[in-house]
Structure 1
């Protein structure tokens, strides 16, 4: 496909995964597993003698970028960088260079698991007063829109760190697909078009935002061509100079100029001081499987671990449906209560990890669960919390050698702050809203925290992102999802589903339930088809039931090492595709 000038364009994003074939160019669709013909040094082959890789992401063009990078000799880390930076171009409503990510990496050769923290951080001049109205109530506009809403991005530093330490290719190679997409253009997805339409009033406040998302003063159309030359230039600076290409030099100066001109507080020192951090992931055993998940500043891994520890001695398979939901919800309730109370950036606050991850602590929490009655959240010591949010993106990758990446990236709410920083083309996040900016008041996702998550210059805000691995003797899974506060319960439910034997497609498609301590109710995904008798029994136990819209956009890869088959599935809720699953032997 070409534009009028003869340059090659990219197919519409009608799916979110792709599969290469021998001697043929990439075929777009909803398939997520590919033969990797050029990756060397495979440690094992599958049952048919072919080495395979699997990628599940939210966009076909991003998945193609990952496979393209694998075909050039990259590993799962290189592919994750390619997927993530391509998503920065084609799916800016959910993630990008102006945001951050959390990632769990598994090195097949050594068996090592590690965690990369590229979460955004507060600028040094942060002040809670900037997020208050004159009457002392929260100012939702400054915490969600414009430059004051934006933390210092971590995404560019994170991908540069990953490439340098764990990738096989130079960073510039992994950035090639994203640069090409930004320069040559692509057909925007329906989700991107709708996001721009929804945020158009805020986007129009800022000249660079109007120029990027409404070129010529017009909203983009799905059958039109969307180009991003500003971001292409910034990606090229990152390719040439690594992290310094973003955090120092001309790009940094333009970022700071644009932010300060619009009322923000960033400085060159804020950018120059940012570092991606490598941390030790949380690892626990549950039902014969090893779960590897995200530590703080993610709140998700701690919460998932706490929930699994609470349920460890409970045989869920012997419970009727209502009582199974009862136990899941009560575990969620207690984990979210602790989320609100204790969790924050571990470089700034002492998080009582030994206590929260202790099976003895879980024993005590379990003893407070009544077998046939809901525990009211008001009965437990608490901070606060209110409704789930639905943005961010996730991608799951296993390469031919068995290296794995589970990576969740975000700009927070849809299109982040709606502020594009001058001629950099970079859409900034609105992650400052993830701090407890005003004690006792909810953020955009209904979550509240105490002093542990209060804003301080250089501090990283708490996140719900929960990239995870589940590793058994014969099967393993790479799991993650967007979805605000529901990320945690989605991943929790996916882990249980995988351990129950469900495949990638069944895991992504299963209907979801959620409880986050406050509001004190069970959110049940609309269309879950729970029998009326189950709903009636839950209500008789004292639960309020909320029939909620669909949420999340989960991407899962499962590897059955008995057969060598890898399956990858994208969420059928994804508006850009059908969520079809494919396998390769």
Structure 2
């Protein structure tokens, strides 16, 4: 697709920045709200400043793609422990004029020096936390290349336009809230290892207290570099050299030693994003579109929905429906764990996994009255693949749960013309590797820890490979028209959050805000289901326990979802979190009265 010729009038930087700051100031007059309904464009993010940035771009005539990049860049300032230009992500885009869905894969890649044994020593897997806080864990960042592809192919603005709101926030600063301070406190030990990180996020060796005005002039400078030099300014030249140096020779505090990586300038210069066809399925009259591999999100969510389609959940008691949701998720995770990886290295049997006939076979394994006794085995989707080019049947992998960073962010934007973006991007663990690129103000990812540390497995490390992800940005259509979007952070719990929210909304009839706010249950084919604080001992928990469901010993907050709902009257409702992650921000261009 050629780039739109409807480029906005180019303005000088001072004029545009003045307009941007004015727009942000106007938006700030609105009280922060997790739900908003209106007309025109809409946005839902976890950050008020990020949502304001998107609205500012929409108000200037930008489309949903332009606004999504603006919001994402601002999240790199205000939610830096979850995302940023040191990481990567997956973007699902609905193009209203063409009535089609495309995806942009800008997942991080392994450096060319990687081998399947990179995370083993003396025949044993290395300590996970040691690898995280090191240059070894850093993959070649894909975010900037992904933004470039999105704007070049489907946007109407340039980096100079869409980065201006984020530059303003980084320059002027934002007030640290309790949630931000808490996240720093949880990662103080990691951040203390790296002076550039400690200087930005710690005060006297401790977390910045809530109420602190945090400016990030180094990140503002980096964004200005991108605004002037475009994508090449990140992947070539001084900034690229600074990234490589930070990965290979991390600057550490006195007495601290961490492992360096083996990234080269060629790794950065050779990085490519991928435009991929989405995976899709149908469910209760909806057409659902999501990310294909190397993300496992779309495949796992849609396989579970195909399994659930065999019951009319609306006619069942809520606890029965939730029991079936948990068991369907268990089966989908068994398959996801066994088969999904980077398709450029081993082709996953996606057609088989998403076959309705395969779902019918998997459905037979569910006891409607009782949970499985423990982890279940993967099935054989190859029998349903109907693809002569995939004759091999790899042995199903172990069902053991792998550690996967739960700290990502999701945003969603629509515009007045009906274009939609559902976008999840990340630096993996809270604070990624913990390494801030000195002088540039952004954290580097630890995405390489998403590989299986040892094989045999489709998801072992290899040169140039993208590690399997769980990100699941989703767009739903009904009768060919947009119905809703949904996505979430949360590592492997992303899959269950998206799945459960769809079930809550479509099957249990909850409005989207209630569907998102409901207690989350994350069954990933482990010994027990992960739940949130306050759930164990509740009436809902006790009822499900009668079905044999078991809960994890350490409840933790799961995800921070964002959604859009396209209403029958032509309005759109933006929905974010009511409580999780410090409450989200939903904005529309024109509020409905």
Q: TM-score, normalised by structure 2?
A: 0.85
CA distance in structure 2 between the partners assigned to 1:362 and 1:435 by the alignment: 27
* Cα deviation 1:407-463 (Å, max 9, x = unaligned): 011111111110112222221011111000234xxxxxxxxxx52111011100111
123-132 or 80-89, larger mean C-alpha shift:
123-132
1:513: Cα distance to partner?
Answer: 1.5
**1:322-471 to 2 correspondence within 5 Å?**
322-378=319-375, 380-381=377-378, 383-386=398-401, 390-439=406-455, 451-471=457-477
Q: 1:506 aligns with which of 511, 514, 537?
A: 514
Structure 2, unaligned runs of 5 or more: 1-16, 251-259, 379-396
The residue aligned with 1:13 is: none
Does structure 2 conserve the Cα–Cα contact (< 8 Å) formed by 1:33 and 1:54? no
The residue aligned with 1:523 is: 530
CA distance in structure 1 between the partners assigned to 2:443 and 2:585 by the alignment: 28
Does structure 2 conserve the Cα–Cα contact (< 8 Å) formed by 1:54 and 1:399? yes
Does structure 2 conserve the Cα–Cα contact (< 8 Å) formed by 1:143 and 1:432? no
Asked whether 1:76 is paired with 2:64, we answer: yes
Asked whether 1:206 is paired with 2:208, we answer: no
The residue aligned with 1:170 is: 158
> Do the aligned partners of residues 187 and 332 (structure 1) sit closer, same or farther apart at CA in structure 2, a change above 3 Å counting?
same
151-160 or 228-237, larger mean C-alpha shift:
228-237
CA distance in structure 2 between the partners assigned to 1:537 and 1:85 by the alignment: 44
The residue aligned with 2:242 is: 254
The residue aligned with 2:570 is: 564
CA distance in structure 2 between the partners assigned to 1:29 and 1:491 by the alignment: 27
Does structure 1 conserve the Cα–Cα contact (< 8 Å) formed by 2:36 and 2:573? no
- Output the aligned Cα RMSD: 2.8
* Cα deviation 1:134-166 (Å, max 9, x = unaligned): 572432234211211111111111111111111
Structure 1, unaligned runs of 5 or more: 1-8, 10-18, 36-45, 440-449
The residue aligned with 2:14 is: none
The residue aligned with 1:15 is: none
**1:306-325 to 2 correspondence within 5 Å?**
306-325=303-322
CA distance in structure 2 between the partners assigned to 1:77 and 1:258 by the alignment: 31
Does structure 2 conserve the Cα–Cα contact (< 8 Å) formed by 1:73 and 1:169? no
69-78 or 199-208, larger mean C-alpha shift:
199-208
1:54: Cα distance to partner?
Answer: 1.1
Asked whether 1:193 is paired with 2:200, we answer: no
Does structure 2 conserve the Cα–Cα contact (< 8 Å) formed by 1:66 and 1:83? yes
Q: 1:576 aligns with which of 574, 582, 588?
A: 582
Asked whether 1:278 is paired with 2:275, we answer: yes
CA distance in structure 2 between the partners assigned to 1:457 and 1:108 by the alignment: 37
Asked whether 1:93 is paired with 2:81, we answer: yes
> Do the aligned partners of residues 531 and 87 (structure 1) sit closer, same or farther apart at CA in structure 2, a change above 3 Å counting?
closer
The residue aligned with 1:53 is: 41
Does structure 1 conserve the Cα–Cα contact (< 8 Å) formed by 2:36 and 2:587? no
CA distance in structure 2 between the partners assigned to 1:224 and 1:91 by the alignment: 15
Size of the aligned set, in residue pairs, is: 542
Does structure 2 conserve the Cα–Cα contact (< 8 Å) formed by 1:142 and 1:149? no
* Cα deviation 1:254-301 (Å, max 9, x = unaligned): 111222223221100100011111100112111111111111111010
Q: TM-score, normalised by structure 1?
A: 0.86
Q: What SS class does the counterpart of residue 545 from structure 1 fall into?
A: coil
CA distance in structure 2 between the partners assigned to 1:540 and 1:189 by the alignment: 41
The residue aligned with 2:388 is: none
> Do the aligned partners of residues 349 and 184 (structure 1) sit closer, same or farther apart at CA in structure 2, a change above 3 Å counting?
same
Q: What SS class does the counterpart of residue 174 from structure 2 fall into?
A: coil
Q: What SS class does the counterpart of residue 477 from structure 1 fall into?
A: strand
The residue aligned with 1:487 is: 494
CA distance in structure 2 between the partners assigned to 1:432 and 1:172 by the alignment: 31
